[in-house]
Structure 1
Amino acid sequence: MSQPSIAPVVERVDARKRYEILVDGKRAGLTAYRDRGEQRVFFHTEVDDAFAGQGLASRLVQEALTDVRKSGKRIVPVCPYVAAFLERHDEFADITDPVTPDVLQWLDTELTDLLHQRLPL
């Protein structure tokens, strides 16, 4: 008789600036962000192929956005998955800001700086 699996858990990992969803203690997916003042800019969401089709991405984003609300921040959905999720879930409309060219330029600089920190010259 197999042991029942533990329900998926979503954790905010501040050091890596992302939320992770864990299944039986293993990371199954993540949604990455960068904070820009009072905005939490989500730019990438992924779920490992081994966990696809289980609704984990939706649960991950739902819990991440709920955490953003609790923290008093606002959501900027650069990530296409987060943007699509928000179109289906208007309960977050009051804390969602539009993706603007200014935000995209800022994010590009943030991510470029991150790459330069990790890659030796």
Structure 2
Amino acid sequence: MDRDKYTDLDIHVAKDTKAETYDAWLGPERIGTLVYQLTAGRVAMISIAVEPEYQHHGVSAELIASALDDVADSGAKVTIICPVVRSFIDEHPEYAGVVDPNRPGIRTRR
């Protein structure tokens, strides 16, 4: 999806298919990780963590958006286990179409 970056940090998000993670890198330092699991043709987004000194700088938003863009580009759907991912999608409804309608996982609180 076309979007503005969510952070002013010059991070790079990379997918590690062996570890089943999307990782946010600032130069050589991994500063955040989104853990996923492939299950029955879906991508279950399990949890996200950002190093304390980089929290509140938009790293998690950039990491989630990059992961959701990648899943959307692959044609797969997402099941949301992580409440941070659920909150992100609630705040950015343009990503709602990536969520598996039959197995959405955590539902919106609204």
TM-score if structure 1 supplies the norm length? 0.74
* Contact 2:46-2:81 within 8 A present in 1 as well: yes
Do residues 20 (structure 1) and 1 (structure 2) align?
no
1:31 maps to 34
Q: 1:26-62: per-residue Cα shift (whole Å, max 9, x none)?
A: 1000100001122100010010102112110000000
Do residues 45 (structure 1) and 42 (structure 2) align?
no
Do residues 62 (structure 1) and 68 (structure 2) align?
no
Give the match's secondary structure for 2:105. Answer: coil
2:12 maps to 9
Instruction: Tell which has more relative contact order, 1 or 2 (C-alpha 8 A, sep 6+).
Output: 2
Give the match's secondary structure for 1:33. Answer: strand
Structure 1 segments of 4+ aligned residues over 6 angstroms from their partners? none
* 1:58 partner amino acid: A
Return the match for 1:99 from 83, 98, 105. Answer: 105
More helix by share: 1
1:78 maps to 81
CA RMSD of aligned residues (A): 1.4
Unaligned runs of 5+ in 2: 1-8
* 1:67 partner amino acid: D
Q: Distance in 1 between matches of 2:47 and 2:74?
A: 20
Unaligned runs of 5+ in 1: 1-5, 101-121
TM-score if structure 2 supplies the norm length? 0.81
Q: Distance in 2 between matches of 1:46 and 1:76?
A: 18
* Contact 2:68-2:98 within 8 A present in 1 as well: no
Identity of aligned residues (%): 24
Aligned residues: 95
Q: Distance in 1 between matches of 2:41 and 2:92?
A: 21
